[in-house]
Amino acid sequence: MRNLFRAGSEVKPTNDFTGSFTDMWQDMRVSMVIPPLTVALCICMAMSIMMFIERVYMTVVVILVKIMRKKRYTQYKLEALKEDLEQNRRYPMVLVQIPMFNEKEVYKLSIGSVCSLTWPSDRLIVQVLDDSTNDVLRTLVEMECKKWIQRGVNVKYETRNNRNGYKAGALREGLNKEYVSDCEFVVIFDADFQPDEEFLWRSVPYLLENPELALVQARWKFGNAYSFLSYSLFCPYP
């Protein structure tokens, strides 16, 4: 009996410690864990509702547009404008700027896409503005430009010793080059853009027909639009 009493007295503090730890964890969970999780849940629900409302709104707009069949740009006859431009052969000089900064993965694709634009070669200047800090990458970009120069494309490879203004600064300094003074239109593609070959034929005639227009922003799509992350964040509408 005496041994049993001693054994019981030794186990009791252990049970009290376990119970105290459990109570303490319950208090911490109630006061520190549950409130942030509740707030996060409310935020997620609110964002989900907003995205659902936006999706419904855009769906309604798309349906109405398809039903009414009204598009603002249909008042301009693109084929007639292109035919008139080809007959008169008064192609405006176009400058295409590509600002770059250590674009190892995409520089070939972007330069290749721009240099493949269907436009008279003597009326097109491709300006590659390379602010890369990697000397090896600069050499690769310059070699890519020289490759297209040998194919008859007027490519200007420009670099700077500083990054003042970052890409916007590079664009500004690119416009100060002497050969740019003859250009009537300026097109800007970021380093990861891959324009369609007919981009200039679909945009420049509209600008020629409408001298009141000073700027046009074109639509683009993502190359990885259907990956899980990009589809969740930037899901394109039909």
For 225, residues 6+ apart whose C-beta sits below 8 A from its C-beta are: 231, 234, 236
Q: Is the pLDDT of residue 220 over 80?
A: no
Q: Is the pLDDT of residue 66 over 70?
A: yes
**Res 85: pLDDT:** 75
**Res 19: pLDDT:** 61
* 156-174 per-position pLDDT tens digit: 999 998 888 999 999 999 9
What is the average pLDDT value for the chain, to the nearest integer? 79
Q: What is the dihedral of CA 48, 50, 53, 54, to 10 degrees?
A: -110
Query: What type of residue is 107?
Result: Y
**Res 80: pLDDT:** 72
Q: Is the pLDDT of residue 180 over 70?
A: yes
Q: Is the pLDDT of residue 82 over 80?
A: no
Q: Which of these, 98, 107, 77, lies nearest to 171 by C-alpha position?
A: 98
Calpha distance 176→238 (Å, rounded): 41
Q: What is the mean pLDDT of residues 214-225?
A: 70
Question: Which of the four pLDDT bands, split at 50, 70 and 90, describes residue 30?
Answer: low
**Res 17: pLDDT:** 55
**Res 127: pLDDT:** 95
Query: How many CA atoms, within 13 angstroms, populate the side-chain half-sphere of residue 50?
Result: 6
Q: 224 near 230, Cβ under 8 Å?
A: yes
Q: What is the mean pLDDT of residues 13-31?
A: 64
The residue ranking higher by pLDDT, 207 or 154, is 154
DSSP 116: T
Could you write out the DSSP letters of every residue in 33-78?
A: IHHHHHHHHHHHHHHHHHHHHHHHHHHHHHHHHHHHT--GGGGS-H
* 106-164 per-position pLDDT tens digit: 889 889 999 999 888 889 999 999 999 999 999 999 999 999 999 999 999 999 988 88
Question: Which of the four pLDDT bands, split at 50, 70 and 90, describes residue 223?
Answer: low
Does pTM top 0.85 for this prediction? no
